[in-house]
Amino acid sequence: MFSSVYQDRVIDAAYRNWSRLYQAEFWAVQRAHLVGLAKTGIIEADIASALAAAIERLRATIAWPEAIPRGFEDMYFVFEHELETLVGPERAAFLHTARSRNDMDNSVFRLALRKQLLDLSRRMLDSLGAILDRARGSDGELTILFTHGQPANVSTMGHYLTAIACDLAEDLQGLLEALDTVDRSTMGACAITGTGFPLDRGLVAELLGFPGFVVNSYRAISSSHWLSRPAGALEELLLDLTRIAADILHKASSEVGLVRFPDELIQVSSIMPQKRNPVIIEHIRIQAGLAASASTGLRQLLRNVPYQDVNEAADAPVSALIDSLSLAASAIDLAGETLVKMRSDEHRARSIALDFGVTTTELADTLVREEKIGFRQAHAICSAFARSGNDRELLRRSFEERCGRKMGLSADAIEAALSPQGFVVVRRLPGGPSPEGMKPVYAELAENLDRAKGRILAIESRIAEAARSLDRAWAELRA
């Protein structure tokens, strides 16, 4: 018997994790392994059939106790005990042929982690598709972009939203690349060196929906890449989400006031009737921050850990990572809802453009193009103009003082150069906020999302087909 402290803090906690997170994957591994034993002739057909019938009965009827019974080390031993009551200890023992809890647990964890990574990836894909649709409909929706916390350039919501979406699309790609590391079976690695039984590792992997298995049996048990890489990809995504949340909160502040939110996304004060608090953004930041702390903690937990079978890659850390993925998925949902439904306050955008001389850059460019002067001269002239509060007469005097001649630009040309709409329209280079500039942005983002969708669908299709194959093989085993 374990000490009461160890029982409470480790054994019971692990059992709760298994009961909560890994039951479906636990049963899948039992079934796939038994099919593998039977198809390779490692165990006789009558024993395999009896075991299959008992496992199926348990799968349908077992009521896992809320707390692990004393004297049992983990869920597997509870299961094995129940199996023994149905087929006897001798026959029940055949199921554990050519496997260890090491390779079984690792495969169970990978299956559960793969499921959560796929769910997060699918949610990201859906949110990014909605953001792309929203951006395409907002080419003429003016806003102000900031640098170093100061108003810098006039742009559009489409330009702003796609910048965010392109980063998140790269984060999605990173998650899918990390998923490739997770998506490998470890069955057949046994404790660390495999087995002398002729188990077909490829067959068992295929039945579990894996595209293959970790070939080196020691690496299958000792590697931490299947944990650290998803944690790293998740951390990168969550970093971006918190930066986005901080930027939107800045734009939503009463002092800036560039974005507005529908009533469904704001909360009011219990005492101040004028308040409209976009706290949904704070919840993005909170949930992303909490999830990021788990990812960071996991990566640090693995530092200086021996390259062996260790509990740093067992249920407690894996469960924390899976929980953080669920929290990250929630943050993604909130971010998607916010980015799609918030709107620019275009009146405020024009006001900021005027008050802070945001379009003065285009006036300087116009002087270079039309008056044929160097940009540094134009910059100095327009800087004096901005400091004067946009005094048109001072602009002409400053030009004449610096260039030794009168400025030829008409009043209408000056106003056109200072127009917020004109500032956007003239920026036609690929990636600029004009409709022409945005075409390659939309095309690249759509292409990246289509590529990610193809990868996700292929993985989902493979898993679904594997489930059908396992069901068929299971039915044959029980016949």
Which pLDDT does position 38 carry in this prediction?
97
What token pair was written down for 383? 């800087």
Predicted pLDDT of residue 390 = 86
What pLDDT score was predicted for residue 368? 93
pLDDT (0 to 100) of residue 272: 83
CB 51 within 8 A of CB 91: yes
Here the tokens at position 312 are 């740093």
Contact by Cβ (8 Å): 165, 132: yes
Closest of 253, 251, 245 to residue 168, by C-alpha: 245
Q: Where are the alpha helices (DSSP H) in 302-391?
A: 315-341, 346-355, 360-371, 375-387
- Specify whether the CB–CB gap between 143 and 257 falls below 8 A: no
pLDDT of residue 363: 93
C-beta separation of 58 from 86 below 8 A: yes
Q: What are the φ/ψ torsions at residue 260 (nearest 5 degrees)?
A: -120, 155
For the entire predicted model, the pTM comes to 0.93
Question: How is residue 461 written in tokens?
Answer: 């299709």
Q: What is the pLDDT of residue 191?
A: 96
Q: Sketch the domain layout of the chain as residue ranges.
A: 4-96, 102-137+157-200+215-348+440-468, 360-418
pLDDT tens digits for 71-125? 899 999 999 999 999 999 999 999 999 999 999 999 999 999 999 999 999 999 9
Rounded to 5°, the CA angle 176-180-182 comes to: 110
Q: Are 171 and 102 in contact (CB under 8 A)?
A: no
How far apart (Å, rounded) are the C-alpha atoms in residues 307 and 309?
Answer: 7
How confident is the model at residue 364, as a pLDDT? Answer: 92
Contacts of the segment 195-202: beta carbons below 8 A, 24+ positions apart: 195/98, 195/99, 197/40, 197/42, 197/97, 197/98, 198/40, 198/41, 198/42, 199/36, 199/37, 199/40, 199/42, 199/98, 200/36, 200/39, 200/40
Rounded CA-CA distance 368/332 in Å is: 45
Q: Residue 259: what are its φ and ψ, rounded to 5°?
A: -125, 150
Q: Which residues of the chain have pLDDT under 70?
A: none
DSSP 8-state symbol, 307: S
> 474 CB contacts (<8 Å, ≥6 apart)?
31, 35, 52, 56
pLDDT at 103: 97
Query: Structure tokens of 339?
Result: 């980015």
Helix (H) or strand (E) holding 185: none
61 by Cβ neighbours in 10 Å (0-12 / 13-18 / 19+) ranks as exposed
Q: 405-409 — which CB contacts under 8 Å span 24+ positions?
A: 407/367, 407/371, 408/370, 408/371, 409/366, 409/367, 409/370, 409/371
The whole-chain average pLDDT of the chain stands at 95
Q: Please tell me the predicted confidence (pLDDT) of residue 266.
A: 84
What backbone phi and psi angles, to 5 degrees, belong to 427? -90, 75
Q: What pLDDT, on the 0 to 100 scale, is given for residue 282?
A: 94
pLDDT for 5 equals: 94
CA distance 188 to 195: 7
Listed residue (287, 292, 290) closest to 336, CA to CA? 287
Angle, helices 225-252 vs 279-301, to 10°: value is 160
pLDDT at 422: 93
Polymer length of the chain: 479
Domain 102-137+157-200+215-348+440-468 has what CATH class? mainly alpha
